[in-house]
């Protein structure tokens, strides 16, 4: 099974403000930069509880009928009707083995703590990071401490007229 990350960050590497707000990201996702095309390749999402709670506050559920596995050690708020949400907990290795048994072939891993745990476990193969041209100084970081270096192979960097700069990497090669 393949696991990918597709995330937007401030230039200084934050995915959200400390209070979870995303107001520094361009509204509506901004200039098209491959999100829809990426989503079309994904069978399921694995997101952390904090990301789930942020998404619950959106005007509309953004994942349509795609299965969303929410990692949390605590009970979850009810999903909106029509959303396909399953509460799971366990290590990234456990999550991957569970989803493999269900026939899932490509997951989208999202949420800072969750991405960091999957990276640390060596269970992310592909990163797409879109940097927004703003410094916010403080916030929830995309990356954190690691117990070892995680080598990346640069695949491509694209620039967009609105100032987005997107870099794609393979992990562990």
Ligand X SMILES: NC(=O)c1ccc[n+]([C@@H]2O[C@H](COP(=O)([O-])OP(=O)(O)OC[C@H]3O[C@@H](n4cnc5c(N)ncnc54)[C@H](OP(=O)(O)O)[C@@H]3O)[C@@H](O)[C@H]2O)c1
Residues that bind ligand X (CB under 6 A): 7-8, 15-16, 20, 22, 25, 47-51, 54, 71-74, 89-91, 110-114, 117, 140
Q: How far is the CB of 120 from ligand X (least distance, A)?
A: 11
Given the complex with ligand X, which of 63 and 173 has the nearer CB atom?
63
Q: How far is the CB of 88 from ligand X (least distance, A)?
A: 7
Given the complex with ligand X, which of 147 and 173 has the nearer CB atom?
147
Helix axes of 92-101 and 112-120: crossing angle, nearest 10 degrees: 90
Element (H, E) at 27: none
Given the complex with ligand X, which of 91 and 162 has the nearer CB atom?
91
Q: How far is the CB of 81 from ligand X (least distance, A)?
A: 22
- Strand-pair category, 165-171 with 126-132: antiparallel
State whether the Cα torsion 104-152-62-16 is positive or negative. Answer: positive
Q: The tokens of 157 are what?
A: 């960097």
Q: How far is the CB of 170 from ligand X (least distance, A)?
A: 20
Q: The tokens of 67 are what?
A: 């299965």
Measured from each CB, the residue nearest to ligand X is 48
Given the complex with ligand X, which of 15 and 107 has the nearer CB atom?
15
Closest by CA to 160, choosing from 136, 126, 128, 131, is: 131
Listed in sequence order, the residues at least 6 apart from 81 whose beta carbon sits closer than 8 Å to its beta carbon are: none
């Amino acid at each position: 099974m393949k696991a990918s990350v597709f995330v937007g960050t401030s230039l200084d590497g934050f995915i959200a403000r400390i209070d979870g707000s995303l107001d520094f990201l361009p509204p509506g996702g901004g200039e098209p930069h491959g999100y829809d095309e990426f989503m079309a390749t994904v069978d399921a999402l694995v997101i952390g509880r904090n990301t789930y709670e942020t998404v619950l506050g959106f005007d509309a559920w953004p994942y349509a009928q795609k299965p969303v596995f929410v990692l949390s050690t605590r009970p979850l708020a009810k999903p909106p009707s029509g959303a396909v949400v399953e509460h799971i907990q366990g290590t990234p290795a456990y999550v991957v083995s569970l989803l493999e048994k269900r026939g899932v072939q490509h997951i989208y891993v999202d949420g800072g703590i969750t991405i960091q745990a999957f990276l640390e476990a060596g269970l992310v193969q592909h990163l797409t990071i879109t940097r927004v041209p703003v410094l916010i100084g403080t916030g929830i970081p995309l990356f954190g401490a690691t117990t070892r270096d995680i080598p990346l192979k640069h695949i491509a960097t694209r620039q967009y007229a609105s100032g987005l700069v997107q870099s794609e990497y393979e992990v562990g090669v």
